């Protein structure tokens, strides 16, 4: 691939720093790298390929001459910066929610719908982390047997709320062990030794926005506008890697053995499913990995054509940074910038 000029916006945050690591680890053809963030963080230094790079304040002018922009900032910032970068000829891959459901903006998981990248008009959206993890696991089943319905419960790590979420779990755990009361700031309740069935704001239908993202985004990515998806999202006291319990109703009956074979051959999936040896995916062991791990594959005994599976994957990597870099790799390889 030709060398390209890359800008990472939000380079000081959890996802931005991970993007730098993934660019380096995957040997992305970076000819020149610009690291940008909030102007208040200008002067901060980050590492890339053994060197320290000084972070600059992100302004529209900083995108001049850049080929690919990776945005790892809040939606309101993306809404300001992404169009400015696109107007200057950059291909923008945005990790926020801002453009995911926008008509004309591809929402891409490379293992599922890479062909959609060719339709971009300057901006490509990176999906929600839980959605990415789920569709990588369920798309191979859909291709083999057709999906009629999806029911999913997520168990989401605190790092999904950024560095402040990580810090709050540490603080709350120490406080709980020392019998001290704590005041939640990032989460609605103390997160140590607790589960909170509330991520993002509640909608009029009783679901949270995080849950509805999984509905809307799954339908767009898989080109299944009417697919029934019923989600419940839960914050759990885990630092890294989201887990998901997924129930599928299919058009064609698949045995668990057939599902294991299909998933074992699917891109980006590792089947870890041997109950006799207590082998199944867990967040502790899927952290810092780029694959989606699938196990506990079994027949749904309440349905004629149904499967249950347990999935875990690193939501900072595959659920955010790695997925964005994979999109960028296709953009560069196929000269779509």
Which of the residues are catalytic?
129, 242
Beta-sheet strand order (sheet of 56-57)? 56-57, 30-37, 4-9, 68-71, 91-94, 123-125
Buried b (16+ CB within 10 A) or exposed e, 134-148: bbbbbbbbbebbebb
Strand partners, 46: 53
204 DSSP 8-state letter:
T
Length reported for the chain: 337
Handedness of CA 21, 23, 26, 32 (dihedral sign): negative
In Å, what is the CA distance from 247 to each residue of 38, 76, 100, 149, 310? Answer: 41, 34, 25, 8, 9
Query: Do residues 173 and 237 make contact, with C-beta atoms less than 8 angstroms apart?
Result: yes
Collapsed DSSP state (helix, strand, coil) of residue 30: strand
Cα 63 from Cα 66, distance rounded (Å): 5
Count other Cβ atoms within 10 Å, centred on residue 262: 18
Cα 245 from Cα 179, distance rounded (Å): 33
Q: Which residues contact 330 (CB under 8 A, 6 or more apart)?
A: 110, 114, 117, 336
């Amino acid at each position: 691939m030709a060398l390209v000029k890359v800008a990472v916006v939000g380079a000081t945050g959890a996802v931005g720093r991970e993007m730098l690591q993934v660019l380096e680890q995957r040997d992305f053809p970076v000819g020149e790298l610009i690291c940008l963030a909030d102007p208040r963080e200008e002067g901060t230094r980050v590492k890339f390929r053994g060197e320290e790079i000084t972070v600059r304040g992100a302004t529209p002018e900083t995108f001049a001459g850049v080929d690919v922009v990776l945005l790892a900032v809040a939606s309101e910032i993306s809404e300001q910066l992404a169009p400015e970068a696109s107007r200057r000829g950059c291909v923008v891959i945005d990790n926020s929610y801002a453009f995911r459901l926008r008509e004309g903006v591809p929402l891409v998981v490379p293992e599922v719908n890479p062909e959609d990248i060719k339709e971009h008009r300057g901006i490509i959206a990176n999906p929600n982390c839980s959605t990415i993890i789920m569709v990588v696991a369920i798309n191979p089943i859909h291709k083999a047997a057709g999906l009629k319905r999806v029911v999913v419960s997520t168990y989401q790590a605190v790092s999904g709320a950024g560095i402040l979420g990580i810090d709050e779990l540490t603080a709350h755990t120490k406080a709980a062990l020392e019998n001290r009361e704590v005041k939640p700031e990032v989460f609605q309740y103390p997160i140590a030794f607790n589960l909170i069935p509330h991520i993002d704001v509640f909608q009029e239908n009783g679901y949270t926005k995080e849950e509805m993202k999984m509905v809307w985004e799954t339908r767009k990515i898989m080109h299944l506008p009417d697919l029934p998806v019923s989600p419940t999202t839960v914050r759990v006291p885990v630092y890294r890697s989201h887990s998901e319990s997924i129930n599928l109703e299919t058009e064609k009956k698949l045995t668990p053995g057939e599902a294991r074979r299909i998933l074992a051959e699917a891109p980006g999936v590792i089947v870890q499913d041997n109950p006799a040896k207590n082998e199944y995916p867990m967040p502790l062991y899927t952290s810092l990995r780029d694959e989606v791990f699938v196990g506990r594959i079994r027949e749904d005994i309440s349905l004629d054509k149904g499967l249950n599976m347990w999935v875990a994957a690193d939501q900072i990597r595959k659920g955010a940074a790695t997925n964005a870099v994979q999109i960028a790799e296709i953009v560069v390889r196929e000269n779509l910038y």
